[in-house]
Amino acid sequence: MRLSVLDQSPVPEGSTGAEALANTLDLARLTDGLGYHRYWLAEHHGGPSLAGPSPEALIGPVAAATSCIRVGSGGVMLPHYSPFKVAETFSVLAGLFPGRIDLGIGRASGTDAMTMFALQRDRRTASPDDFPQQLAELLAHYDGGFPADHPFAPLGRTLPGGAEQPQVWLLGSSPQSAIWAAQLGLPYAFADFINPEGAPAAAQYRERFEPSERLASPRVAVAVWAICAETDAEAERLASSSRMTFTLLRQGRLIPVPPPEKALRFLAGQEGGGRPSPPTRRGVIGAPATVRAGLEEVAARYGAEEVIVVTITWDHAARRRSYELIAEACGPAAAGGERAAAHAG
C-alpha cells in the first residue's frame, strides 16, 4: 500500500497563516525523508482554519524544499479558472521539476457561495456549470487534442514546459466524478474524508475505465482522515480538534483549529447527555497498529493502490509525529525506494 499526503495547511488557534505555510514546508521535508510517495496541496478559500487557497503557488516551494516526493494539487478547483491558464501554470512547474508534478483537478468550489462569487472575474452572471468542457479543454492543451482549425490548437505548442507535463488526476467525492475519470482514462482519487461511501464509485470507475495515452489501466487512490499517536486514547484526544472544527463548519461557523482541551469541552457539551457526539465522518484514529489496520481496510474497500493521508491537529509537532508513526507502521519506505526510478507513477 503506497502512502501519500494531502496537506490542507491548517491554522491552529493562536497561530497565523504564515506560520501554517511554514509548517507545510516543514511537513513536506519530513514526509519526503520518510518515503511518502506524493505531497498534495489543497485549495480552500475565505476561512480562518486553512491557509491554502493557492496550491499552484505552494507547489514550487514544496518541490524546491524536497528531493524525491511527487508534489501537486489536491486539487485545483477548475471552475474558478481558465483551463489554458491552469495548463500554463502546471507546465511551468513540470518544466522546473521534471517527473515530479501532479495536477489534481476538482469540481467543488472549496468555499461558500459569497466567496465563490468574489473569486469570479465576471460578476454580471453566475459562472456556467461546464466542468466537463473545461476539463476536456485543459487536457487538449496538453495532448494536442483540438481540431486543426480550432483557434486554440496552436496554444499547446507554446507551453513553457515543452514535453514535460504534469500527471493529471481527477478528484472526486461523488459517482459522477468516477464516470468522468473513467471516460477520459485518468487516474482517480476519491475523498473518503468527505464522503465515506465512495467504494461503489471506485468500483464503477474501474468497470467503465477506457484506456488512454495517459493511462493504460485504472488507478485508484483514496484520501483518508487519519491521526496516529502512541496510544489510541492520545490519538482520540488529538482528533477532538478536527471534530470540533468540522462540527462548527457544518453549522457555517469557521474557526481556527482549536487546542484539544477546548475541543473536548465543546464536544462534551454537544448532544448525548454530556458525552462527545459521535464522529460525523470516517476517521482512522489510534495507535500505530490501529491506524495501519484501518488504512488497509479502507484501501481494500476501494481497491486502491494508494492511500492519501489527511491529518489535522492543533499541535504541529503532533501532526509530524502522526506521519512518522504511520510511516513506521505501514512501511512506505519500500515504495519510497522505488520513487526515483518511477516518478511517472
CA distance 114 to 290: 41
Mean residue pLDDT of the chain comes to 91
Hey, what's the cell of 239? 482528533
Average pLDDT over residues 236-252: 93
Cα-Cα end-to-end distance for the chain: 14
Report the pLDDT value the prediction gives residue 251, as an integer from 0 to 100: 87
Residue 309 β-bridge partners? 5, 224
Torsion of the alpha carbons at 310, 8, 167 and 331, rounded to the nearest 10: -30
For residues 249-270, give the mean pLDDT: 93
Q: pLDDT grade, residue 15 (50/70/90)? A: very high
Mean pLDDT in residue range 264-281: 66
What 3 state SS string does 28-47 have? HHHHHHHCCCEEEECCCCCC
When pLDDT is averaged across residues 89-93 and rounded to a whole number, the result is 98
In contact, 72 and 102? CB cutoff 8 Å: yes
**Alpha-carbon gap, residue 297 to 68, rounded angstroms:** 28
Tell me which residue range forms the domain holding 138: 2-341
Helix axes 199-208, 175-184, angle to 10 degrees: 20
pLDDT tens profile 171-224: 999 999 999 999 999 999 999 999 999 999 999 999 999 999 999 999 999 999
The band of 117, judged by pLDDT with boundaries at 50, 70 and 90, is confident
How much is the pLDDT for 50?
A: 95
Which cell numbers hold the place of 84? 489554458
Which residue type is seen at 74?
A: G
pLDDT at residue 97 greater than cutoff 60: yes
46 neighbors 111 (Cβ within 8 angstroms):
yes
All three cell numbers of 307, joined, read 492511500
User: Region 306-314: what's the mean pLDDT?
Assistant: 98
Q: How many domains, the chain? A: 1
The enclosing domain of 249 has a CATH number of 3.20.20.30
Is the pLDDT reported for residue 108 higher than 70?
Answer: yes
